[in-house]
A and B are shown apart, each in its own frame.
Chain A
């Protein structure tokens, strides 16, 4: 069974006039995928990520993740679902400014009730893996953009979610930091089987993705490449 199943999903926004963001989307995403939604601005990439992430609801159709239909769940149930199954990486990093790197990493496990010692052990192991161990006590404003985004990725994967959703993760990074970030996410995907779904304009991300989901005017464009292709 696919990890993510979208069935005939449509979404329209109302901003003075109705804007059809997605229309009739049918999509499956397998566990362990390293996939990117691509397309021009306004094609529906972010809307697709928001629906898969349970941050928004489809007008029609259903969104199932790990077997659960999240289209009809309550806000509290959705929050619980995101906590247990999803990780997020945002374009603007969005680390909590009042927490240190270590505390940012501990945030989601703390919400899940993971004991402190276990949270710290896992966070330190990941920081070591990512070469960021020296930054554990620093606050986000003491880090570069690249460092912040790598910490954000670690925050997303530390709770071992089924799926990490990354919205334009390299958009605010220079090419060197973007490469470092992609290297790290690719390694996590291969070594820990973490499933990634990006939305991106970045050719570097598109080159690394093993599956490209092309969107145009809110619809899936021809040429969806099947999962499993090695770059």
Chain B
């Protein structure tokens, strides 16, 4: 206890220097917390956008479909699969689809497209494609062979609302066939891939087009959050253990998202390492000065019987006091600024066009403050300070009392 008292009072002997060091730590920590919050918010929004635009949190196919998609690989016993999906924990919605590809043609142009056959009411519980319509309307079971096309595809094909469009496909039985559709709506999802190369038709029309009868190729699930993916996946895996299905999380379906997040995290950690390095030099300077200004005092302590490890402890305790003060202040600043920006959001719409070109569709970032972020940032700061303080502490403990006592 006496050592803690000494540590506390020693730290405040040089009030201005200590305050500057505490402020340096606090600002570094606050910056780290805010940047992590922005990063987490950005990633969460990216994932949410992608999940809500197309892929869902989980997808189910016949085993092997994801690696090599084919119309021959339809979901086995779709009724059993749908029953299991309905009981999945954290489920918000699901869509049972038919996926295929083909050639979309108008009188003048044609383009290769991915065809998604959906039940409109089911699909709107998973994706937001119904809200992305910029001309015309969303699909309706009452329409006659309606088709939704992306804004870019409409430009490529020079297809407008109510225009006729032929889909040429190779059916599941190998035969070639084509059907006439009418453009019911044009969507702008923000995803270049979707807007350029995906069309939506009614599921029954797709089953007819591909000669699939009532067979389906994919089920997509929307869950209440990304954290629910694993428990939901485990549940489905247990329920469908006897069926030859693959249950794929979003990060397997869209690995580029995961890879982008990992890359972005790597950049963040590089910045944090540089930042902590700069901070640690400042702290090292403070602790070194504090030790070398008190060489004689350490000499007296040692002469009176203080053991070398107790000298190390005292210097480390002083660093702990400084780092905790910095951590508390930094946490308040970092949490406060994150919460402040969380409510207003950071508007990146000025750069949105460029970002969406590479698949980043989040335009207003809402940073998120998590306990894990706060705890990890604080732990990192305290560890860095302790690590930095260790060298001067060892130096102090190795002083020879007879020389330290002569120190002026």
Interface pairs (8), CB distance under 8 Å: A76-B307, A76-B308, A98-B5, A98-B9, A103-B2, A103-B5, A111-B305, A155-B304
Query: Contact partner of A94 among B296, B306, B402, CB < 8 A?
Result: B296
Is A75 on the interface with B (CB-CB < 8 A)? yes
Known: A50-B402, A107-B2, A111-B310. A83 touches B304 (CB 8 A): yes
**How many whole Å from A45's CB to the nearest CB in chain B?**
14
Binding site for B on A (CB under 8 A): 50, 53, 55-56, 75-76, 79-80, 82-84, 86, 88, 90, 94, 96-99, 103, 106-108, 110-112, 155
Known: A55-B401, A90-B405, A96-B297. A108 touches B304 (CB 8 A): yes
Q: Which residues of B contact A94 (CB under 8 A)?
A: 296-297, 300
Q: Which residues of B contact A53 (CB under 8 A)?
A: 303
Give the one of A50, A76, A88, A96 with max B CB within 10 A.
A96
**How many whole Å from B346's CB to the nearest CB in chain A?**
46
Q: Which residues of A contact B401 (CB under 8 A)?
A: 55
Q: B13 touching A98 by the CB < 8 A rule?
A: yes
Residues of chain B at interface, number, CB under 8 A: 24
Having A83-B305, A96-B297, one finds 16 other A-B pairs with CB under 8 Å, namely: A50-B402, A55-B402, A76-B308, A80-B307, A82-B303, A82-B304, A90-B300, A94-B297, A96-B300, A97-B297, A98-B5, A99-B6, A103-B2, A108-B305, A111-B304, A155-B304
C-alpha gap A112/B1 in the complex (Å) = 13
Q: Which residues of B contact A76 (CB under 8 A)?
A: 307-309
**How many whole Å from A210's CB to the nearest CB in chain B?**
25
Binding site for A on B (CB under 8 A): 1-2, 5-6, 9-10, 13, 296-297, 300-310, 400-402, 405
C-alpha gap A94/B310 in the complex (Å) = 19
Known: A99-B5, A106-B2, A110-B2. A55 touches B304 (CB 8 A): no
C-alpha gap A79/B305 in the complex (Å) = 4
Query: Contact partner of B306 among A55, A84, A111, CB < 8 A?
Result: A111
Residue of A nearest to B9 (CB): A98
Known: A94-B300, A96-B297. A79 touches B402 (CB 8 A): no
C-alpha gap A2/B142 in the complex (Å) = 114
Q: Which residues of A contact B309 (CB under 8 A)?
A: 76
Q: B304 touching A88 by the CB < 8 A rule?
A: yes
C-alpha gap A156/B339 in the complex (Å) = 56
C-alpha gap A88/B304 in the complex (Å) = 7
Q: Which residues of B contact A90 (CB under 8 A)?
A: 300, 405
Q: Which residues of B contact A56 (CB under 8 A)?
A: 400, 402
Q: Which residues of A contact B10 (CB under 8 A)?
A: 98
Residue of B nearest to A92 (CB): B296
C-alpha gap A112/B2 in the complex (Å) = 12
Q: A79 touching B302 by the CB < 8 A rule?
A: yes
C-alpha gap A82/B304 in the complex (Å) = 6
C-alpha gap A80/B305 in the complex (Å) = 6
Give the one of B5, B304, B305, B307 with max A CB within 10 A.
B305
C-alpha gap A98/B307 in the complex (Å) = 20
- Nearest first, the 8 closest Cβ-Cβ pairs linking A and B are A83-B305, A98-B9, A55-B402, A56-B402, A82-B305, A94-B300, A55-B401, A110-B2
Q: Which residues of B contact A112 (CB under 8 A)?
A: 305
**How many whole Å from B12's CB to the nearest CB in chain A?**
9
C-alpha gap A111/B301 in the complex (Å) = 10
